[in-house]
Structure 1
Amino acid sequence: MARLTQVALLFAGLLCLMCLSGIAHSASPQFFVEGKVYCEVCRANFINKLSEPMAGAKVRLECREEEAGSITYSVEGETNDQGLYRLPVQGDHDEEICEVTLVKSSRPDCDDLPDEGWAQKPVSRVTLTSHNGIQGNTRNANPLGFAKKVALPQCSEVFKELADDQDF
């Protein structure tokens, strides 16, 4: 009978350790979303050789239910001196739409949100699930940029170079 009690206590202790391990594991981020924020000095809505990394810009990741649109997860972050951010994400968001958006520019001379053409809502959608074949826990978001109010004069040369490079 004493042997049975010892086995039961050992089993209960192992079960407690497994539960604590699960709690510790769930407290750590399941994913990291990484991306870049830049100042688009040509108002072209894409990165070019004149675009400048933006340090200190604020971004937000939000996940929403596909049907109802209710926010299920949200986290904010700030870019480093190279314009890069890394956001920790808790949980698997398989049935949700997750997007990174620009929150606040760190530069008063470059704080316009793009509102022309395809960039009417500057967001980067990311997939945050482990049920789709993507390996690893890092997800890369597309670059996002604030724009200057007026394009720099040297932008015309960049556009000319781009046009000359096209093979139609």
Structure 2
Amino acid sequence: MASATQIAILFAGALCLLSLPGGAQSNAAATKFSVEGDVYCEVCRTNFINKLSQPMAGATVRLQCKGETEGNITYSLEGITDDKGQYHLTVEGDHGEDECEITLVRSSRPDCNVVPDEGWATKPTSRITLTKNSGFHDNTRKANPLGFTKKKADPQCAQLFKELEINPEEL
């Protein structure tokens, strides 16, 4: 029968082995994250989701993680939205040293295929954190919604602009 001292030594040895760099790398490689988000058609060209925005089924988004040096793409993955305009991506590995973001790639609607490029919506992206060392308690990450716009606002937007007290000339 093992003594308490022998058990303590075995336990300490196991902890040391787990802290070795090889053990940490295999743990990071085994990490998986689920990234979820929405893509919509913004029919009023307000560049924010509103009650007239429509979920966009079949749109393509890209998740891309970049390292510290310019052009160093460390991870890339594309996904397509379901019939509710939602995408679900499974990301392999911990990307704590990278800057990761979701971007719009392709619209599924010819009438709503403009990527906003005005004001704050220039190159719309949703940044996400893909590391265990972030304070999040699970592996699911929710990205901010992203939207394509129509070339011209729909006629029913006039009422929305009144309700929101928006001057469409300032958009």
- For residues 3-152 of structure 1, the aligned pairs below 5 Å read 26=29, 30-152=32-154
The letter for the 1-side match of 2:91 is V
Contact 2:29 2:94 in 1 (8 A): no
Q: Which residue of 2 aligns with 1:9?
A: none
The letter for the 1-side match of 2:55 is P
The letter for the 2-side match of 1:89 is V
SS at match of 1:61: strand
Unpaired runs of at least 5, structure 1: 1-21
Unpaired runs of at least 5, structure 2: 1-24, 167-171
Give deviations 1:93-126, integer Å, cap 9, x for gaps: 0011000000000000000010111001111000
In terms of mean alpha carbon deviation, does 65-74 or 77-86 score higher?
65-74
TM-score w.r.t. structure 1 length? Answer: 0.79
RMSD: 2.0
TM-score w.r.t. structure 2 length? Answer: 0.78
The letter for the 2-side match of 1:51 is S
Shift of 1:160: 1.0
SS at match of 1:86: strand
In terms of mean alpha carbon deviation, does 65-74 or 140-149 score higher?
65-74
Give deviations 1:61-116, integer Å, cap 9, x for gaps: 00001344400000000000000000110100001100000000000000001011
